[in-house]
Amino acid sequence: MKKISAVVDRISGGKQAVLLAEEEKQEFVVFLNDLQIPLYEGQWVDLYLDERGAIQELHPNEKKTEERKQRIDSLMRQLKKRKGSQYKQ
């Protein structure tokens, strides 16, 4: 099986999640009621694909999710510090 990382891009209609695998430039759609775990937008997951490219397993990657969240928070702080920033509160 091939392992790839993907981010939960959006939850559509509360029934399915759209996953984006950036490095592979692929999009996957999974039905939430087929999963044993809750998913949320912005969450990173590890996908295990069979030889046809179908998802066989999906596991949350909390470490990568937290790393990306910290990176985004850092970038937002930098934007807020800029003179004339529209992001200042």
Cα–Cα distance, 63 to 44 (Å, whole number):
9
**86 part of a folded domain:** no
40: in domain: yes
- Please indicate, yes or no, if residue 23 is contained in any of the structural domains: yes
Record the pTM: 0.81
β-sheet bridge partners, residue 60: 45
| Residue 33: CATH number of its domain | 2.40.50
- What is the C-alpha separation between 75 and 36, in angstroms, rounded? 33
In a domain, 57, yes or no: yes
Per the domain annotation, does 71 fall within a domain? yes
Task: Give residue 47's domain range.
Answer: 2-81
| Total domains, the chain | 1
DSSP code for 32: G
pLDDT digits (tens, 9 = 90+) for 6-63: 999 999 988 999 999 988 899 999 999 988 889 999 999 999 999 999 999 999 999 9
